[in-house]
């Protein structure tokens, strides 16, 4: 017989108090960022309640409620009145996101206002940059993205989040905005999980796909190269997107870099749980909290997620 007692790991699982005491990872509202869509007209969403469109007045009311329940941060996406080839609605002074920022900034000094910097919601063709002979022109797009980031900060954004995946855009934004935190969508994959977002934002490409700028799902070393460049160009936070199918990428970025890491729990991940719960296959609350815990455990310091309102009610 062994002189050592057999390991008894169940000792620390026997009561809720002990489990709470030894838990390594916890989801907190402090680490969550809620995406909000601002548009000229409101549009509800029964199946995916966190994915509705708000008017500027509506987004003010929504943020009032978010602050009341303890939410800390939102990221604004704009759905413009009209689109053009250049996506000018992204940077004009009276653009939809700029209007929302000017309404929100003075009212909610304690709420973090992040903005998504991309052209796909604003271009008539739905690509994330401007076209030259049906190809997305990198450097011309970078110029317009930097202009967009500057206009967001002038309107009151606390941080900007370039999500376009053009080369060199973080550096171009950093040059113009030395003081602004940049949350770089560094490892953003050409994913099948963005469907519900594109429906709400009206940003599906009208031809082709995004594989000439977003990353191939098979690659992880390339994600680290993307991060390396973004660090060199002045990024403050490195973001991996989507989250759940890419937890190995979150972990790899966490291990290689000492910057804060973000993960985007995208619309398709939210929709899958919602649909499965509606069909009676699983419990939304348990599945959502488990997902968010897993994303943090993999190494994310912060999570962009549609479940912020729900988490606020679940954690009380």
Q: Which residues are catalytic?
A: 188, 241
- Of 25-33, 82-90, 114-122, 146-154, which segment contacts ligand PBG by CB under 6 A? 114-122
Q: Please choose, out of 18-26, 115-123, 140-148, 176-184, the segment that lies near ligand PBG by the rule CB under 6 A.
A: 115-123
Q: Does 308 bind ligand PBG (CB under 6 A)?
A: no
Q: Is the dihedral of CA 304, 309, 315, 316 positive or negative?
A: positive
Structure tokens at 102: 């000017």
Classify burial at 221, counting beta carbons within 10 Å of its beta carbon; exposed 0-12, middle 13-18, buried 19 or more.
exposed
C-alpha distance from residue 77 to each of 39, 66, 96, 217, 259 (Å): 9, 17, 9, 24, 25
Non-local (6+) Cβ contacts of 34 within 8 A are 50, 66, 71, 73, 74, 75, 304, 305, 306, 308, 309
In this complex, which beta carbon is closest to ligand PBG, that of residue 158 or of residue 256? Answer: 158
State which of residues 52, 56, 139, 198 lies at the interface with ligand PBG (CB under 6 A).
198
**Of 261 and 266, which has the nearer Cβ to ligand PBG?**
266
Q: How far is CA 219 from CA 17, 96, 225, 314, in A?
A: 42, 35, 11, 36
Residues contacting ligand PBG: total by CB under 6 A: 11
Q: By CB under 6 A, name the one of 99, 267, 291, 305 that touches ligand PBG.
A: 267
Judged by CB under 6 A, the residue of 122, 197, 213, 307 near ligand PBG is 197
CA distance 130 to 164: 11
Q: For residues 74 and 128, which CB has a smaller minimum distance to ligand PBG in the complex? A: 128
Segment interacting with ligand PBG (CB under 6 A) among 20-28, 88-96, 112-120, 291-299: 112-120
Residue 266 binding ligand PBG, by CB under 6 A = yes
Q: Is 122 in the site for ligand PBG (CB under 6 A)?
A: no
Q: Which stretch binds ligand PBG (CB under 6 A): 20-28, 172-180, 197-205, 283-291?
A: 197-205
Q: Which residues bind ligand PBG (CB under 6 A)?
A: 116, 118, 120, 128, 163, 194, 197-198, 203, 266-267
């Amino acid at each position: 017989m062994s002189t050592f007692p057999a390991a008894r790991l169940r000792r620390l699982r026997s009561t809720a108090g002990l489990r709470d005491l030894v838990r390594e990872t916890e989801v907190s509202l402090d680490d969550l960022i809620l995406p909000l869509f601002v548009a000229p007209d409101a549009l509800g969403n029964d199946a995916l309640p966190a994915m509705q469109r708000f008017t500027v007045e509506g987004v003010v009311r929504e943020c009032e409620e978010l602050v009341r329940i303890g939410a800390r941060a939102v990221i604004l996406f704009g759905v413009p009145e009209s689109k053009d080839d250049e996506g000018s609605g992204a940077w004009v002074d009276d653009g939809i996101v700029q209007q929302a920022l000017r309404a929100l900034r003075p009212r909610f000094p304690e709420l973090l206002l992040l903005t998504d910097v991309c052209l796909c919601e604003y271009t008539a063709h739905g690509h994330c940059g401007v076209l030259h002979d049906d190809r997305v022109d990198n450097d011309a797009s970078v110029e317009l993205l930097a202009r967009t980031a500057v206009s967001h900060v002038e309107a009151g954004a606390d941080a900007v989040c370039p999500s376009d995946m053009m080369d060199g855009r973080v550096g171009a934004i950093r040059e113009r905005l030395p003081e602004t935190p940049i949350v770089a969508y560094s490892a953003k994959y050409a994913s099948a999980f963005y469907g519900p977002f594109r429906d709400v934002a009206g940003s599906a490409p009208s031809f082709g796909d995004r594989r000439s700028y977003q990353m191939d799902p098979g690659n992880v070393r390339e994600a680290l190269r993307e991060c390396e460049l973004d660090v060199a160009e002045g990024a403050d936070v490195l973001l991996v997107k989507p989250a759940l199918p890419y937890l190995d990428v979150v972990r790899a970025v966490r291990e290689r870099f000492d910057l804060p890491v973000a993960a985007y729990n995208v619309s398709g991940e939210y929709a899958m749980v919602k649909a499965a719960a509606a069909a009676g296959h699983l419990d939304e609350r348990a599945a959502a909290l488990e997902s968010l815990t897993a994303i943090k455990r993999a190494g994310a310091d912060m999570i962009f997620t549609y479940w912020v309102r729900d988490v606020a009610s679940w954690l009380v």
